[in-house]
Amino acid sequence: MPEQPQPSPSDPGGAPVSVRELLLARLDASELAPEARAVLRGLLPDEPVVNGEGRGGPVQLRSITAAGWRGIGPRTTLELPPGPGLVVVAGPNGSGKSSFAEAAETALTGRNSRWDKRRTGDWKQGWRNLHSPDVTPEVSVELGLGEHGEPVTVRRTWYGAKVDDARTHAEGADGSELKPDEIVDAEALRLARPFLPYSELGSMINGTLSDLHDAFFKLLGLELLAELDGRVKDAASECEQAGKREKERTGQLLGELAALDDPRARDVIEALSGPRPDTGRVRALLASRSPAAEPELARLRRQAGLTGPDPQEVSGAVARLREAAARAEDARHGNAENARRLAKLLEAALDHRRRSQSPDCPVCGNTGQLDQAWAERARAEVERLQGEAAAAESALQGVVKARWALHDVIEPVPVWLQTDDSPLAELWRQWSLCRSVTDASELAGRAERAAVALEEACRQVREESARRLADRDGEWQPMAVRLTDWLAVAEAAEAARVRRPYVTKARAWLRTVIDELRDERLRPFAERSQEVWQRLCEHSSVTLGSVTLAGTPGRGRVELDVTVDDMTAPAYSVMSQGELHSLALSLFLPRATHDASPFGFLVIDDPVQSMDPQKVEGLARVLDTVAKDRQVIVFTHDTRLQQAIVHLGIRATVLRVTRQSDSVVGVEKVTDPVEQALAEARDISRDPQLPQDVADHVLPAMCRGAVEVACLATARRRLRDEHGLPLPEVEKRIASLERTKEYVALALLGDAKRHPHHAVEQIVPGGWQLIEAFNSGAHGPLPTVDDRRTLVSRTKGLARAILRSDARGSGAAGGGNAGGAR
């Protein structure tokens, strides 16, 4: 078959084309028969929509707060800079940093990957902070929604000893209560989940990757293809089943007809015994009576097979509706709305007591009223009131469900009775009209009465029609009824025989197109995964090739083309732990940064573990790229990521988490090391009480240290970017530095053994004299505070010039001889 031109994945204006539109375009361009095309068009479902915008559009993460949770005792908040950018949350193991990552995930999703991976009794009992038994466990996140960053807080609070004994609620900046689903769409949270905990880094590919497969399938809009394939498969199966039903019913009829002593039975046996039953002859035999009698016979046959409402089914549905209505009435008598309102008032009082730390009542002014005993009673009352309100809401919902269930039992008027004016038709119309009744009590009564009357009328009509048919045809009539039913089965089988070849061809064509569209849609993700892998594992012998989807949702998997030195191998059997982590990141980032994701942030916990220096540097570059348009928050105890960020000159906010005794956790921002050193020197220089001998020795040393820090940052960047040295070699050269002039020479000239005098003078005239002044004993005294400030100011100019220095400009400044510099 000649290759057909395929539609572009986007229209001329650049707008993306849906999977449904792409499929229809290919169907129009195909060489399938019109009947096969009609099969696919008739079964094609509507395009599903991924709702990823939540309540206010893009979601940013402003802060994470935890109290009494995991490693955090007293309430602690991790403030995060808004908007895109890289944030590194650093701290040693046990400092509480991972508790913040898990707190954010738990607050937004209501679950934690650690719970799923470690559902052991010990862990489930140890989720609560042991040092703060009196602190109510709570985790919360403050989000910024939409372009204007509308602040919203999502909080999860525990009211019991079990990890599942918790409630989640959300509120706006004005304190108004919101529904969590109004803020973040649950489906988007599942499909484009922005959290990658450490527990998933190494385990993501140790299985079928079915969850990742299903998430990609939905994100790419491919579930429409899976649903269509399922419908076509069912259509093919139905064609096959139709033939089997015809064969089975024919065999049964032949046995029954052989037992009848009737010439019509012998004629039908002959019509049914050929290679294919002669439906036309059977139909003619059934109609071989006077034309005047045929309508009456047809009516009698329909009435003889008439069935009305099932008394037991109706009775059960009515009873359930009345029970539900009674429960709802009891709930209303309990004044559920007041219960909800009182619960909120008590929660507000408890919140006031917690925030104010005072037992005095803010309303009546009485002292000591809101003591611990009151708080316990109030919490118990809140739970009782909320339970009462929840029960009322459940009861009302039960009425709705019971009403729907009864409506489902009520059948419409049969077509052949719709134009009839008989009492039976009128009773059936009254029965059918019950579907329009919404009042539970009225519906129960009317449906019960109408069902009884209709069933009795149906019974009478059925028995009378059967008697009259029996009088007419005796033994033949029941057979005629079964033959009429058989005709419907045979006609369906004939239609299926005609339809089946087109369904088969349609499915074969569809399977090929599904593979093509799936690969086209996945290609950008696969390319992005390969790009991330290459940056993380640039020097690895393991290569990540194609990333493809195989199978359908619920039965699919992600297939990874992994090779080692051009030899194909399973990913999990040839990769180191660091490479497995890199692969997990390569699969996570394209999914989490999909255009359909409403999340403007990513939270990644401890991705550095098991990575060698090259992978750490590649990770820093990858994170920097993602952080151009996403808020990327990385938790790590490994200092190598910070070092790589400094080496590469990547802009990042570094927050350090520390943990003191009794789980008191602190967070501080780590400033630029050069600015920090200069700030410390500036503080010393401005102290008029500083003794002269201390100033003469301490201040020059601090200024020298600031310059050396600037030299280290410049040297690392220059040796990597301009000289192409690997990271271990860079660190080896830096470790050998002993004197200030070596620091300066390595930073400006790339060689610690050269003399940097001219290079320094080129970037800051008089700079070399300043470097000499740093050496103890080679400078004059600093008699005034102004002299001290001047020294710091000149040091700042020199340090910034070194940071801005250009290798080509300084490289020409050769080795001037200026001894004495440290």
Report residue 502's pLDDT band, with 50, 70 and 90 as the boundaries: very high
Higher-confidence residue: 743 or 15?
A: 743
Q: What is d(CA 189, CA 599) in angstroms, rounded to the nearest whole number? A: 8
Residue with tokens 């149906």: 458
Residue with tokens 């007419």: 472
- Cβ–Cβ contacts within 10 Å for residue 721, how many? 13
Q: What is d(CA 316, CA 240) in angstroms, rounded to the nearest whole number? A: 38
Q: What pLDDT sits at residue 7?
A: 42
Segment 94-98 mean pLDDT: 83
Report residue 822's pLDDT band, with 50, 70 and 90 as the boundaries: very low
Beta strand pairing call for 150-158 and 166-172: antiparallel
Q: What is d(CA 63, CA 636) in angstroms, rounded to the nearest whole number? A: 18
Residue with tokens 């650093």: 90
Higher-confidence residue: 700 or 16?
A: 700
Model confidence at 189: pLDDT above 50:
yes
Percent of the chain predicted with pLDDT > 90: 12
Report residue 221's pLDDT band, with 50, 70 and 90 as the boundaries: low
Least confident of 154-163, 313-322, 518-527: 518-527
φ/ψ (deg, to 5) at 129 = -65, 130
3-state secondary structure of 548: strand
Q: What is d(CA 343, CA 636) in angstroms, rounded to the nearest whole number? A: 41
Q: Which of 183-187, 355-359, 795-799 has the highest mean pLDDT?
A: 795-799
Model confidence at 678: pLDDT above 50:
yes
- The one-character DSSP state at 309 is -
Q: What pLDDT sits at residue 186?
A: 74
Segment 121-141 mean pLDDT: 75
Q: What is d(CA 248, CA 257) in angstroms, rounded to the nearest whole number? A: 14
DSSP 345-362: HHHHHHHHHHHHT--S-T
Q: What pLDDT sits at residue 207?
A: 47
Model confidence at 143: pLDDT above 60:
yes
Q: What pLDDT sits at residue 820?
A: 34
In terms of phi and psi (left: phi > 0; alpha: psi -120 to 50; beta: otherwise), the region of 337 is alpha
- Cβ–Cβ contacts within 10 Å for residue 805, how many? 23
Q: Which of 294-308, 627-641, 665-679 has the highest mean pLDDT?
A: 627-641
Contacts of 676 (CB under 8 A, 6+ apart): none
- CATH architecture, range 59-223+520-666: 3-Layer(aba) Sandwich (3.40)
Model confidence at 153: pLDDT above 70:
yes
Q: What pLDDT sits at residue 332?
A: 62
Residue with tokens 């470790």: 735
Segment 197-202 mean pLDDT: 69
Least confident of 75-79, 297-301, 771-775: 297-301
Q: Which helix (H) or strand (E) covers residue 464, if one does?
A: helix 440-473
Model confidence at 664: pLDDT above 80:
yes
| Per-residue model confidence as pLDDT tens digits over 531-566 | 877 787 776 666 676 666 666 666 666 766 666 666
The residue ranges of every structural domain in the chain are 59-223+520-666, 240-306+474-502, 319-398, 673-811
Name the residue type at position 259: A
Q: What pLDDT sits at residue 811?
A: 38
Q: Which of 71-85, 177-191, 465-479, 766-780 has the highest mean pLDDT?
A: 71-85
Contacts of 374 (CB under 8 A, 6+ apart): 359
Percent of the chain predicted with pLDDT > 70: 78
Contacts of 451 (CB under 8 A, 6+ apart): 308, 309, 311, 314, 431
Least confident of 328-342, 397-411, 688-702: 328-342
Q: What is d(CA 504, CA 272) in angstroms, rounded to the nearest whole number? A: 28
| Per-residue model confidence as pLDDT tens digits over 386-420 | 666 666 777 777 788 888 888 888 888 888 888 88
Report residue 6's pLDDT band, with 50, 70 and 90 as the boundaries: very low
Model confidence at 779: pLDDT above 70:
no
Q: What is d(CA 392, CA 388) in angstroms, rounded to the nearest whole number? A: 6
CB 627 within 8 A of CB 84: yes
Residue with tokens 């001889």: 817
Least confident of 144-148, 393-397, 426-430: 393-397
Least confident of 52-61, 101-110, 412-421: 52-61
Least confident of 115-119, 281-285, 297-301, 749-753: 115-119
Q: What pLDDT sits at residue 416?
A: 82
DSSP 781-800: ---SHHHHHHHHHHHHHHHH
Report residue 818's pLDDT band, with 50, 70 and 90 as the boundaries: very low
φ/ψ (deg, to 5) at 265 = -65, -40
Model confidence at 483: pLDDT above 80:
yes
Edge-to-edge strands, sheet with 653-659: 195-196, 601-605, 631-636, 85-90, 653-659, 665-670
Q: For residue 700, what are the CA distances in angstroms to 674, 691, 693, 770?
A: 15, 14, 12, 10
Least confident of 21-30, 230-239, 295-304, 584-593: 295-304
CB 54 within 8 A of CB 145: yes
Q: For residue 553, what are the CA distances in angstroms to 216, 385, 466, 549, 556?
A: 10, 42, 52, 10, 6
Higher-confidence residue: 281 or 475?
A: 281
Model confidence at 471: pLDDT above 90:
no
Segment 516-523 mean pLDDT: 80
Q: CA nearest 387: which of 333, 335, 457, 336? A: 336
Higher-confidence residue: 425 or 397?
A: 425
Angle of the 423-433 helix axis to the 440-473 helix axis, nearest 10 = 150
DSSP 740-754: HHHHHHHHHHS-TTS
Segment 9-34 mean pLDDT: 72
Average predicted confidence (pLDDT) for the chain: 78
Segment 77-97 mean pLDDT: 88
Report residue 567's pLDDT band, with 50, 70 and 90 as the boundaries: low
